Structure 1
Amino acid sequence: MSGPILHHYGTSPFSEKVRVAFGIKQLAWRSVKIPPMMPKPDLTPLTGGYRKTPVMQIGADIFCDTQIILREIERRHPQPTLFPGLSKGLAEGVAYWADHQLFAACVAIAFGIMGEQMPDAFLEDRAQFSGRPIDRTKLKRQSAVMHGPLRAHLGWVEEALNDGRAFLFGEAPSLADLAVYHGVWFVRDRAKSDAVADYVKLNAWADRMKSFGHGTYTEMDGKEALTIARQAQPMAMPGGVAPNALGLSLNDTVSVTPDDTGRDPVVGQLVALDAQSITIRRASEETGEVQVHFPRAGFILVPHKGQ
């Protein structure tokens, strides 16, 4: 069985979430460095156009979005669990809040600090990614506006840690810790903002998260990852297509699109569908047949036009 390949870049905050998960579980993995902006010539054949970072590959199976990446890591490597104690379900809800509301505030703060150093091409790419223009002259103002919401969000985390617990759900890290941490990491460690400096418990917790490291990894080339996909067979998907309001059935041609940013649809044949995940089948000359996996939450699944 092929081990995990993470397609990522070093300054990607969502990639940091997965890298720390590898550290918590002390996994060995392979690292493919991808460009921080489009085009991504060695990644697009694998995903069919999904442009967010990171993407995890296991053989001919491609996992898009950290929700489903971490779910698959947990399935294959259940110990130590990312859902200790009573955190299952609740941790996923906290993670969804952190990935959206908290992270939006973190991005605004970080861009306000780093925006002047960012190349025009990068900001243009992020404007296309977000679906709205980015005005370099307004980044500091937008950062100031979001400073209050960020402080409110992080205040909840500080209060949770005030009772002496080491992590958000007790004495072991959970999915919730990973989701909150990657935003804090982006503001504190990447942007070097002082916005979190006076949160004593939060900073001690962030240091504990950082200490897990990233597991053990080896670098590999994107072309080699394409060869691995081409030589592998997608994993069997039990369960088929669950009843759904759209009336979709096995092998229907569908499109899957993020509902927030990076709204580039991926088209393929429906292989599996349940309450939490979507799997479609695609094929290309570079990869052969692959399966691309998405979470249900945060993605729009519809029949492909022209079907």
Structure 2
Amino acid sequence: MPDIILHQYATSPFSEKIRLVLGAKGLTWNAVEIPPILPKPDLLALTGGYRRTPVMQIGADIYCDTALICDVLDRLAPQPPLYPAIQAASARLAAAWIDSALFTASVTYTMQPAGVQAMLAHLTPGQVQAFIADRKAMRGDTNALRMPLPEAAAMLHDTLGRLQEQFAAGVPHVAGPELSIADFSLFHNLWFIRRATPLAAILDGYPLVKTWFARMQAYGHGKLRVVPPETAIADALNHDPLPHDTTILPGSGLAAGDPVTVTPTDYAKDPVAGVLLTLTGHVVTIRRQDPRAGAVNVHFPRQGYHVQSAA
């Protein structure tokens, strides 16, 4: 099997989610450090326009969105399972809420002036302005990743308080007795808040949550090496895409081979164009042809993405 390549950057919270999953599963992987803002020409050669971080690559197969990346990693390395049978549904539901609603609260809370100053202290004033402009463009005309600060703080305190009570009752993980995807989703939110050091004291009132965080952090990031983007593009060019599910959901109005676009429904609404290969209730796969990367299959989760005919 080709190497696992994660296109990521060090301060990306969703990259941290996947790094920790890779560590928990004891996997060996390669990291390509991508820019946190556009332009990202090497990444876009593989994704066709998808700009969110991270993206996982295995040969000529490109996996977008951490929800799908975690599914793929769980199939490749089933232990420890991210979706244990006794809480598979609750874990997925909890993770989806944490990665959307709670993450919006986390971003809002940390993007207070003191948090911004701490998190962006390593950047020049010009780089700070470029970062802010990039994120504004990524949100577009939506309210994505924004909510009133009092509501964000209230959501965080309510969530942390309920977890504190659950851990005190002897339930060791977020979605139940077993480690699951929900733990990794919560972890990256708290990891993000902790980076805003002047604001991280919000966690101090929840000692059992902090103990849980330390236990999760101990998984580490697995065995990794950093490779240049040219290596990743060559890896795609030198491999054929894997065999794919040929299912097309009945009633979708689409057929295999149709030209389509796939676009996130919340923010960073950059459409990716290609030929439809798979459309199920869980996954969308399209085929793209790139001058540098060759033929690649780009995979998205079905939930949270709009699939539209480009004919």
User: What's the TM-score once normalised by structure 2's chain length?
Assistant: 0.91
Q: Is the 8 A contact 1:63 1:292 kept in 2?
A: yes
| Paired position in structure 2 for 1:103 | 103
CA–CA separation in structure 2 for the residues paired with 1:110 and 1:169: 25
1:48 match:
48
Query: Quick one: structure 1 residues 75 and 92, their matched pair in 2 at CA, closer, same or farther if it must change by over 3 Å?
Result: same
CA contact (8 A) 1:111 1:143 kept: no
Q: Paired residue for 2:224, among 217, 229, 234? A: 217
**Identity in percent:** 39
Q: How far does residue 145 in structure 1 lie from its aligned partner after superposition?
A: 4.9
Equivalent in the alignment of 1:266: 272
- How far does residue 153 in structure 1 lie from its aligned partner after superposition? 2.5
Counterpart in the other structure of 2:255: 249
Using the TM superposition, name which of 226-235 and 114-123 deviates more: 114-123
In the alignment, which residue of structure 1 is the partner of 2:14?
Answer: 14
Give the letter aligned to residue 166 of structure 2: A
Offset from partner CA, 1:87-130 (integer Å, 9 cap, x none)? 21211111110011100000111111332464011000000111
Q: Which letter does structure 1 place at the counterpart of 2:84?
A: P
Amino acid at match of 1:88: A
SS in 1 for 2:88: coil
Structure 1 residues 58 and 101: CA distance shift in structure 2, 3 A: same
For residue 58 of structure 1, what is the amino acid of its counterpart? Answer: I
In structure 1, the residue corresponding to 2:232 is in which secondary structure?
Answer: helix
Superposed CA RMSD in Å reads 1.8
Matched, 1:230 2:237: yes
SS in 2 for 1:36: coil
1:59-86 per-position Cα deviation (integer Å, ceiling 9, x unaligned): 0000000010000001111122112241
1:191-210 → structure 2 map (5 Å cutoff): 191-192=196-197, 193-210=200-217
One-letter code aligned to 1:194: A
1:131 & 1:159 partners in 2: Cα distance? Answer: 38
Matched to 2:262, the amino acid is V
Q: Which residue of 1 aligns with 2:63?
A: 63
Give the corresponding residue for 1:275: 281
Instruction: Confirm or deny: 8 A CA contact 1:127 1:133 kept in the other structure.
Output: no
Aligned length: 298
Describe how 1:89-100 pairs up with structure 2 within 5 A. 89-100=89-100
CA-to-aligned-CA distance 1:130-186 (integer Å, 9 cap, x gap): 12599xxxx9x9545521222123223223222123222455421010111111110
Structure 1 range deviating more: 152-161 or 178-187: 152-161
Q: Is the 8 A contact 1:47 1:266 kept in 2?
A: yes
Q: Could you tell me how far apart the structure 2 residues matched to 1:5 and 1:110 are?
A: 29
In the alignment, the residues of structure 1 paired with residue 142 and residue 2 of structure 2 have an alpha-carbon distance, to the nearest angstrom, of 41
**Which sits farther off after the overlay, 88-97 or 75-84?**
75-84
Relative distance call for 1:210 and 1:256 in structure 2 (3 A) is same
User: 1:191, CA displacement in angstroms?
Assistant: 1.4
Q: Give the Cα–Cα distance (whole angstroms) in 2 for the partners of residues 132 and 191 of structure 1.
A: 26
Instruction: Give the one of 123, 126, 134 matched to 1:125.
Output: 134
Instruction: Say which SS state the counterpart of residue 29 (structure 1) adopts.
Output: strand
In the alignment, structure 2 segments of 5+ residues that lack a partner are 121-127
Structure 1: distance between partners of 2:90 and 2:151: 29
**More deviation, 85-94/67-76:** 85-94
Instruction: Check whether the contact 1:95–1:180 (CA below 8 A) recurs between aligned residues.
Output: yes
The match for 1:168 is: 174
Contact (CA 8 Å) 1:17, 1:178: kept in 2 or not? yes
SS at match of 2:201: coil
- Classify 1:85/1:242 alpha carbon distance in 2 versus 1 (closer, same or farther; 3 Å): closer
Q: Is it true that 1:151 corresponds to 2:157 in the alignment?
A: yes
CA–CA distance in 2 between the matches of 1:121 and 1:155? 37
Output the CA distance in 1 between the equivalents of 2:156 and 2:274.
38
